[in-house]
Amino acid sequence: MFHSHYNPEYLTSDIITGEAVHAFGTRRGGVSTGIFESLNLGLSRGDDPEHLYENYRRLGAAVGFTPEQTVLVHHAHSARVDRMGKQDRGMGLLFPQKEYQDGLYTNEPGVALVVFTADCTPILLHDPVKHVVAAVHSGWLGTAKGIVANCVNALIRDFGCNPADVEAAIGPSIGSCCFETDRDVPEAMVKALGPEAEPLSFITHEGAPEGKFFPDVKAINVLWLHRCGVKKIDVCEECTKCRPDRFWSHRVNGVKRGNMGNVIMLKEE
């Protein structure tokens, strides 16, 4: 189950336990102005760096991390996931990113992993047994490439995680109500996952134009998680496009917008 918190506004999932702090950001409760009003946590869109820093400070003060602890992803709609550590702290906010990736993971406490979304699907992972966290940006391309499965497999490979221990929270993103696509998107999902993905991908809505489909990207990510043995999964039902007052939505705002930040960190002793 997801819970709302205010000033600044963010959501948490009660599937993620104890030693990890986390937040799915909204667009409300920050200091950015104009097209970034107000809780913009995205780097690349031209917001004032001082506003951006203050937004991280405010969210971090509420959630339990500092701007200096953050490691910001450098999206490329890829399936690449990279291991991060204390030496990477400040990447994105305090010094430029070099590599591109769409998922971050770490077993080091005090490293706040951040992925951005504005309709794409954010997924936060935590293994309370091996003490590992991960943050994944899974847009439709990343979903078709199985980035969340890549990430779980990296946790198994690098830390010996048992997927049955892994807690997965799928945050606010565009829902099947609004994600209108051509045939290429559901086809890519079924190509990747087989017939089991068909009813989740070739969804039609009454009155929608001929040849348009409404893939349920959250449900497809759940299928990826099930395939790699993750059972503890919480899905946020909120649709970013249905609630542009609360969330940044690429489909609503185009490129003139901010980004949600989705954060997870192992607490330091």
Which 46-105 positions form the footprint of Zn ion (CB under 5 A)?
A: none
Q: For the CB of residue 253, give the shortest distance to Zn ion in the complex, in Å.
A: 14
Position 239 contacts Zn ion (CB under 5 A): yes
Position 218 contacts Zn ion (CB under 5 A): no
Position 197 contacts Zn ion (CB under 5 A): no
Position 175 contacts Zn ion (CB under 5 A): yes
Count of residues interacting with Zn ion (CB under 5 A): 6
- Which positions ≥6 away from 61 have C-beta within 8 Å? none
What six digits make up the tokens of 111? 């490293």
Position 215 contacts Zn ion (CB under 5 A): no
Q: For the CB of residue 260, give the shortest distance to Zn ion in the complex, in Å.
A: 15
Cα(239)–Cα(247) distance, integer angstroms: 9
Q: Give the per-residue contact string, 120-159, with Zn ion (x = CB under 5 A; - = no).
A: ----------------------------------------
Position 180 contacts Zn ion (CB under 5 A): no
| Residue type for position 45 | R
Which 8-37 positions form the footprint of Zn ion (CB under 5 A)?
A: none
Q: Which is nearer to Zn ion, 80 or 250 (CB)?
A: 250
Q: Which is nearer to Zn ion, 164 or 177 (CB)?
A: 177
Choose, by CB under 5 A, the member of 35, 141, 219, 242 that binds Zn ion. Answer: 242
Which spans of this chain sit near Zn ion (rule: CB under 5 A)?
Answer: 175, 177-178, 239, 241-242
